[in-house]
Amino acid sequence: MELHISEEAQDVIEKERQTGDWLLLDFEDAIGPFTESAVSCQLYPNFRLLLVPQAFPAEKLVDYDAKLETEMGTVLMKTTSQMLLDKKVEIVVEPSYKRIQLRSDSGILAANLPLKRIEIKND
């Protein structure tokens, strides 16, 4: 699979990204450490971009086993999520409302791709 990130989308992401952050293209499927609730297996699941601090325990990222090389470096995602995408996808900024979108040649895959920072919780 090939992932391209437009220059405009890179600018939006870089404004939120901190040094060393992992960039994850996450599909909300209740797999992995970033499930927000038991209802993550929702009727309308979606993709989202996660900024994960470098200090986050690497062993908790084991589900993100696919590494995609992009203009911004390596983007991690779950191999199980790749079957939901086309061979070539891109992250772009929609011109009218400035929303981040996930697109392919077949159309818009995520009309509003959330960009979320993950905070490390001290237990």
pLDDT in tens, 54-90: 999 989 899 999 999 999 999 999 988 888 888 899 9
Q: DSSP states of 42-61 as a string?
A: -SS--EEEEEE-TTS-GGGG
CATH topology of domain 2-117: Hypothetical Protein Aq_1857; Chain: A; (2.60.300)
pLDDT at 46: 83
Q: How would you class 81 by CB atoms within 10 Å of its CB: exposed for 0-12, middle for 13-18, buried for 19 or more? A: buried
pLDDT in tens, 12-31: 999 999 999 999 999 876 55
Domain ranges (residues) in the chain: 2-117
Read off φ and ψ for residue 3, nearest 5 degrees.
-120, 125
Q: What is the pTM of this model?
A: 0.85
Residue whose tokens read 């450490």: 33
